[in-house]
Structure 1
Amino acid sequence: MSEEKEVQLVSELRFVIGRLSKKIRRNSETAGKLSLTERSTMALIFQYGEILPNELASMEKITTQSMSQILNNLLNLGLINRRISELDKRKVIISLSDEGMNLIHKSRSEKDEWLNRAIEATCTAEEQEILKKALMPLAKLVEFD
């Protein structure tokens, strides 16, 4: 592929994925109540189950002070739990509360339902197969650092 076509592919792919991602986020009433970083932080807590604030800050690439503000807001909203580590009393372990778990599940369900309706309304059966085939290379992009 020529360099010009590669640049065009990269640009178009970035644009389309970015727009689709924003559209999916906008179509979740539940998630719309939180900032992007708050939603991302909750997703990380969900993924890891229990995690330290400094680990979250590192993953989100923000300062520990900024993460502290995010966690305080999530705690005030009743979406997370904090507990002192039994091994090291200086450390606080973060997990999702029942309300936080419910929010994650409801938000994901809303997004999945919207995306399913969109795919069914706009894509032919052949295009849906193309989307299935594109999942593997897209997943590889997500894992690339």
Structure 2
Amino acid sequence: MSTKNSHNIAAQLRPVLTRLVRKMRKLSPIDTPLSQTERAVLVSLENQSLLSAELAVIEKITPQSMGQVITHLNSLGLIEKTPSATDKRKVYLSISTLGKEMIQQVRNERDEWLSKAISEVCTAQEQEILKAAIGPMAKLVEF
């Protein structure tokens, strides 16, 4: 495929993806008192325990800002703190059961909306095209 063709696809795809992501983010429950960064921290802690400094690097925010995020998540009971067995100055953070439930609720709501949108606005042929596009889109995410 030519570079010009790739550029044209990128120019058309980028704004559509941006709008879709924004719309999906807005679908979070209104009564959820979490910022996008706080939700991202919960997702980062979903399968592993991390230190506050590690989370700050992942989220590209200052350690002080991460401290505020952690304080808020902890006050809501969404994370758990575990002191390091080898270094008492370190505290590992993990997602709590309540945190997992909240993340799953948001995912379920987004999945329901997307499923409804696909079934109501896309023809069967368009649905097959979307299904076929998942593989190439996943490659883009991993690039």
TM-score (normalised: structure 2) = 0.90
**Equivalent position amino acid for 1:62 in 2:** I
Q: Which runs of 5+ in 1 are unaligned?
A: none
Q: In the alignment, what sits opposite 1:15?
A: 15
Deviates more, 1:105-114 or 1:52-61: 52-61
Q: In the alignment, what sits opposite 1:71?
A: 70
Q: CA deviation at 1:106?
A: 0.8
Q: In the alignment, what sits opposite 2:112?
A: 113
Q: Which runs of 5+ in 2 are unaligned?
A: none
Q: Does the 8 A contact of 1:31 with 1:39 survive in 2?
A: no
- Structure 1 residues 71 and 21: CA distance shift in structure 2, 3 A: same
Q: Deviations over 1:23-48 (max 9, x none)?
A: 112122168531111111111111x3
Separation of aligned partners in 1, 2:30 and 2:41? 15
What's the secondary structure of 1:89's corresponding residue?
A: coil
- Structure 1 residues 63 and 94: CA distance shift in structure 2, 3 A: same
Instruction: Give the paired residue count.
Output: 142
Separation of aligned partners in 2, 1:6 and 1:65? 41
Q: Does the 8 A contact of 1:25 with 1:32 survive in 2?
A: no
Q: Once the two structures are aligned, what percentage of the paired residues are identical?
A: 46
Deviates more, 1:108-117 or 1:79-88: 79-88
Q: Does the 8 A contact of 1:54 with 1:64 survive in 2?
A: yes
Q: CA deviation at 1:66?
A: 1.4
Separation of aligned partners in 1, 2:108 and 2:87? 37
Q: In the alignment, what sits opposite 1:34?
A: 34
> Which gives a bigger RCO, structure 1 or 2 (Cα 8 Å, sep 6+)?
1
- Structure 1 residues 31 and 143: CA distance shift in structure 2, 3 A: farther
TM-score (normalised: structure 1) = 0.89
Pairwise mapping of residues 93-108 of structure 1 onto structure 2 (< 5 A)? Answer: 93-108=92-107
Q: In the alignment, what sits opposite 1:89?
A: 88
Separation of aligned partners in 1, 2:139 and 2:20? 18
Q: Deviations over 1:103-126 (max 9, x none)?
A: 011111111111100110111111
Q: Does the 8 A contact of 1:29 with 1:107 survive in 2?
A: yes
Q: In the alignment, what sits opposite 2:49?
A: 50
